[in-house]
Chains A and B, each alone.
Chain A
Amino acid sequence: MFRRSTVAVTACAVLVTTATACSSGFDKSKNGPEQDSAKKQSLRVLIATSGDAETKAVKKATAAWEKKSGHKVTVQLAKDMDQQLAQAFAGNRPPDAFYVNSDQFANYAKGGSLYAYGDKVPDADDFAPQLRKAFTYKGKLVCLPKDSSTLGLAVDTDKWKKAGLTEKDYPTTWEELEKTADKLTSGKTTGLVTTNEYQRLGAFMKQSGGWITDRNETKMTADSKENAEGLGFAKKMLKSGSMKFAKQVDTGWAGEALGKGKAAMIIEGNWLQGAMKLDFPDVDYKIVPLPAGPAGKGTLAFSNCWGVAKESTHQKAAVDLVRHLTSAKEQLASSDAVGVMPSRESVMDDFAKEHPESKAWVEGNEYAQGPVTVPGFTKVLDQFNADLQGLSTGDPAKILSTLQRNGEQAIKKGN
């Protein structure tokens, strides 16, 4: 018996020692790691690319910076960005610079994984204010928005003409939207197609004067009358059949529905342009601003930011790289390739001039609502999206009160 327990104890000791040795990778010093100051540093960049065009644009831009700075950059493409970043943070070997999705931003910022470099960027004020606000945590601008996108109404011009509509008929109010969608719905074509997520339907909430949280994201305002009105309008259209979710018409997203002729109108953002060019180059469409609701115009703005890891040993070089990637010149070049808008206000006019077809998206910047960035909100908003799937038969007020309750809990836990 004695011998057996000795062996067991020894085995345990060996295991624990190994485990401790393995876990040493976790250790973080309080002020971040010692910085590398060599002339020739090697940086790792992780991006979640939307396609070849974007990959090429990023690689070209980093190559230009390599030449300028003398450092070396390896660009890696993520298959599942959230998972790969979470693993990298947990393993304490994060890439030096990476895309940060707006819905994950707050989680990473709260966890202390992001190096807040906003104060190292002298011209940070040039970036669109609603995006800067989204990427600010505890009063500090943490990372720079990579680009910007807003939602617009994309209209299939052929179907438009066939239905006997002219340019004057582009809907500018909810009533007109409802009427035109009705008119365009026939056979396999649905008048308006969008996805069952707050990132699209939230525009209706905005147009009726509501939003999920207050301006400072410290209080939930989900169960307001305005929000219920916005979702109520969407419900009405869903019930009438003139509006459908992309998956109900067997497509992965609204852009595919537009390209395959299953939708006459869709609500999508700037990324639509690159995707349509690639997948459906023959479909003619036009972007017009989203119709105004009872409280005026409203749209949503989207962006990723360029995060720099707190655990990076190349913070200075990485910030320099990000400044290069978000410079006016590079932003214009990448918007040519991908279709997204620059996040700098100073070059927005140049962009609008070069891309007259994106005018409606550019206009959207003036009244756009930025993404919600509250720690622990991912699951709350996921649940909201799941509930929105049943909007056509559900009760908007009940969906919103669930969101209100879940959100309040997350805010309480997050702060």
Chain B
Amino acid sequence: MSTSVTERPAPPPLPRRPGRPGRPGSRTTRGREGLWGWLFVSPMVLGLGLFMALPILMAAWVSLLNWDGQSNPFTPDADFVGLQNYQSLLAEDGLARSLLATSLRNNLYYVLLTVPLQTGLALTLAIIVNQRMLRGRSMLRTTFYFPSVTSSIAVCTVFLFLFQGSGAVNQLLSWVGVKGPNWFQDSRGVLWVLLDALGIVDGKPGGVLAEHTMMGLPFSEWLAGPSVAMCTLIVLAVWTTSGTFMLIFLAALQDIPRELEEAAALDGAGRRHILRHVLLPALRPVMFLVTTLGLIGTWQVFDQVYVLGQGEPANTTLTPAFLSYSYGFDNAEFGQGAAISFILLGIVLLMTGVQRWFLRERGARNPLAKLRKGARGAQD
């Protein structure tokens, strides 16, 4: 009884595909099948091609142009500038680079806090509502899921009022003697706020951290953590998305055979052990799904930012997705905007790859797990 439950049964040996070379006579059948196959998938292929692949290719082309959105980018007259848009975003000292750096900093902290929190909360909620002995289960499930079905714009607007300087949240805090900040106007990074409260730094650290920069942004800004305003956005994101992910976890939990848990209980495993050694390993594929969805969703955050201040206060809620929009529509620099979105795409792909590596199946290939397994086997 250990991680072995997660190991999927070996896939059945593939039947030899008909139509392989060496099996003459079936070629025409196979060809016709292929044709029919293409015919059946053609609506989807056309739809995806026309509305996904093609616009992506067009955007990739636009990201190589100096295009103001007021002419045809697909003629020889288009102002082709090569990789200059990327260069001014990544390599040249200037406003473009420091804006991108600021937005990446903001979004990185947003992702780092939102994804673990929402996954953890969703898992906790799912385990709670998965208990068979729990009363009012369906009511709880509905309640937890409710924030996810509410329009994000409506939720944002409500948050805007809740987190005003004299809003409900600060009123609540004042009952326990805490004077809350003016949430959406506070651009201070939480790390410096905390260190300031502890008396370690005064306001914002100067000196070496403020003088040295990376991508045009001083280290004191990189390290500042999310601003107080960004933290409210994180709370909002966790609150609205955890319901959806709870549902995914719940479905997976209900898929785990009851016998497994019972068998583990019979073997003398406590609840915590069951969770750690039975449920969590069984949930790994779903965990991958949830974190991937969370990662992609959080790197692309746009609507909350658009409603809650468009980058304010002091650019601390600016995200690459919003920056890309603002470059295109407010500054008539669609080429630069498209370049930002491709940088964002690169980041999302990279992050997903990293996370895939972290959550990979650590079966027999992992020597440590093998060792542990061996040790446990000896105990039994």
Could you tell me if B54 and A386 are in contact, using CB atoms closer than 8 angstroms? no
- Pick out which of these stretches binds chain A: B129-137, B149-157, B260-268, B310-318: B310-318
Could you tell me if A386 and B70 are in contact, using CB atoms closer than 8 angstroms? no
Whether, in the assembled complex, A7 has its beta carbon less than 8 Å from a beta carbon of chain B, the answer is yes
Whether, in the assembled complex, A124 has its beta carbon less than 8 Å from a beta carbon of chain B, the answer is no
Could you tell me if B187 and A90 are in contact, using CB atoms closer than 8 angstroms? no
Could you tell me if B94 and A406 are in contact, using CB atoms closer than 8 angstroms? yes
Could you tell me if A379 and B330 are in contact, using CB atoms closer than 8 angstroms? yes
| Nearest CB on B from A248, distance (A) | 6
Task: Report the bound CA distance from A137 to B94 in whole Å.
Answer: 26
Task: Report the bound CA distance from A14 to B331 in whole Å.
Answer: 34
Could you tell me if A11 and B72 are in contact, using CB atoms closer than 8 angstroms? no
Could you tell me if B185 and A90 are in contact, using CB atoms closer than 8 angstroms? no
List which B264-317 residues lie within 8 A (CB) of chain A. 311-315
Whether, in the assembled complex, A166 has its beta carbon less than 8 Å from a beta carbon of chain B, the answer is no
Whether, in the assembled complex, A135 has its beta carbon less than 8 Å from a beta carbon of chain B, the answer is no
Specify the main secondary structure of chain B where it touches its partner.
loop
Counting chain A CB atoms within 10 Å of each CB, which of B74, B94, B330 scores highest? Answer: B330
Whether, in the assembled complex, B34 has its beta carbon less than 8 Å from a beta carbon of chain A, the answer is yes
List which A374-415 residues lie within 8 A (CB) of chain B. 376, 378-380, 382-383, 386-387, 389-390, 393, 405-406, 409-410
A-side contacts of B54, CB under 8 Å: 15, 18-19
Q: A112-B71, A409-B94 are in contact. Are A390 and B187 (CB under 8 A)?
A: yes
Could you tell me if A111 and B69 are in contact, using CB atoms closer than 8 angstroms? yes
Task: Report the bound CA distance from A132 to B223 in whole Å.
Answer: 47
A-side contacts of B50, CB under 8 Å: 15, 18
Could you tell me if B72 and A379 are in contact, using CB atoms closer than 8 angstroms? no
Could you tell me if B330 and A82 are in contact, using CB atoms closer than 8 angstroms? yes
B-side contacts of A83, CB under 8 Å: 329
List which B318-339 residues lie within 8 A (CB) of chain A. 326-334
Task: Report the bound CA distance from A386 to B326 in whole Å.
Answer: 14
Whether, in the assembled complex, B165 has its beta carbon less than 8 Å from a beta carbon of chain A, the answer is yes
A-side contacts of B49, CB under 8 Å: 11, 15
Task: Report the bound CA distance from A3 to B72 in whole Å.
Answer: 35
Could you tell me if A110 and B330 are in contact, using CB atoms closer than 8 angstroms? no
A-side contacts of B330, CB under 8 Å: 82, 104, 378-379, 382
A-side contacts of B203, CB under 8 Å: 393
Could you tell me if A386 and B332 are in contact, using CB atoms closer than 8 angstroms? no
**Closest chain A residue to B328 by CB distance?**
A86
Whether, in the assembled complex, B95 has its beta carbon less than 8 Å from a beta carbon of chain A, the answer is yes
B-side contacts of A7, CB under 8 Å: 38
Could you tell me if A390 and B314 are in contact, using CB atoms closer than 8 angstroms? yes
Whether, in the assembled complex, B1 has its beta carbon less than 8 Å from a beta carbon of chain A, the answer is no
- Binary A-proximity of B89-119 (CB < 8 A = 1, otherwise 0): 0000011000100000000000000000000
Whether, in the assembled complex, A26 has its beta carbon less than 8 Å from a beta carbon of chain B, the answer is yes
Whether, in the assembled complex, A225 has its beta carbon less than 8 Å from a beta carbon of chain B, the answer is no
Interface size class of B (residues with CB under 8 A): 35 or more
B-side contacts of A378, CB under 8 Å: 330-331
B-side contacts of A390, CB under 8 Å: 187, 314
Task: Report the bound CA distance from A23 to B99 in whole Å.
Answer: 32
Could you tell me if B71 and A386 are in contact, using CB atoms closer than 8 angstroms? no
Whether, in the assembled complex, B171 has its beta carbon less than 8 Å from a beta carbon of chain A, the answer is no
B-side contacts of A247, CB under 8 Å: 182, 184-185, 313
Task: Report the bound CA distance from A380 to B71 in whole Å.
Answer: 24
Task: Report the bound CA distance from A379 to B311 in whole Å.
Answer: 12
Could you tell me if B94 and A28 are in contact, using CB atoms closer than 8 angstroms? no
Could you tell me if B185 and A248 are in contact, using CB atoms closer than 8 angstroms? yes
Could you tell me if B313 and A3 are in contact, using CB atoms closer than 8 angstroms? no
List which A81-111 residues lie within 8 A (CB) of chain B. 82-83, 86, 89-90, 104, 107-108, 110-111
Whether, in the assembled complex, A123 has its beta carbon less than 8 Å from a beta carbon of chain B, the answer is no
- Binary A-proximity of B326-356 (CB < 8 A = 1, otherwise 0): 1111111110000000000000000000000
Whether, in the assembled complex, B363 has its beta carbon less than 8 Å from a beta carbon of chain A, the answer is no
| Nearest CB on A from B35, distance (A) | 8
B-side contacts of A18, CB under 8 Å: 50, 54
| Nearest CB on A from B89, distance (A) | 13
Whether, in the assembled complex, A250 has its beta carbon less than 8 Å from a beta carbon of chain B, the answer is yes
Q: A379-B326, A389-B314 are in contact. Are A107 and B95 (CB under 8 A)?
A: no
Could you tell me if A82 and B329 are in contact, using CB atoms closer than 8 angstroms? yes
Whether, in the assembled complex, B164 has its beta carbon less than 8 Å from a beta carbon of chain A, the answer is yes
Could you tell me if A86 and B72 are in contact, using CB atoms closer than 8 angstroms? no
Could you tell me if B312 and A389 are in contact, using CB atoms closer than 8 angstroms? yes
Whether, in the assembled complex, B45 has its beta carbon less than 8 Å from a beta carbon of chain A, the answer is yes
Q: A107-B331, A110-B68, A393-B203 are in contact. Are A386 and B95 (CB under 8 A)?
A: no
> Can you offer 13 A-B residue contacts whose CB atoms are under 8 A?
A4-B34, A11-B45, A11-B49, A18-B50, A20-B74, A26-B73, A26-B74, A27-B75, A104-B330, A104-B332, A248-B165, A248-B185, A379-B99
Top-3 shortest CB links A-B: A26-B72, A111-B70, A107-B332
Name B residues whose Cβ lies closer than 8 Å to a Cβ of A. Answer: 31, 34-35, 38, 45-46, 49-50, 53-54, 58, 68-75, 94-95, 99, 164-167, 182, 184-185, 187, 203, 311-315, 326-334
Name A residues whose Cβ lies closer than 8 Å to a Cβ of B. Answer: 3-4, 7, 11, 14-15, 18-20, 23, 26-28, 82-83, 86, 89-90, 104, 107-108, 110-113, 245, 247-250, 376, 378-380, 382-383, 386-387, 389-390, 393, 405-406, 409-410
Known contacts A113-B70, A247-B182, then 12 further A-B pairs from the complex at CB < 8 Å, ordered by chain A residue: A11-B46, A28-B72, A86-B332, A90-B334, A111-B69, A111-B332, A379-B95, A383-B315, A387-B314, A389-B314, A393-B203, A406-B95
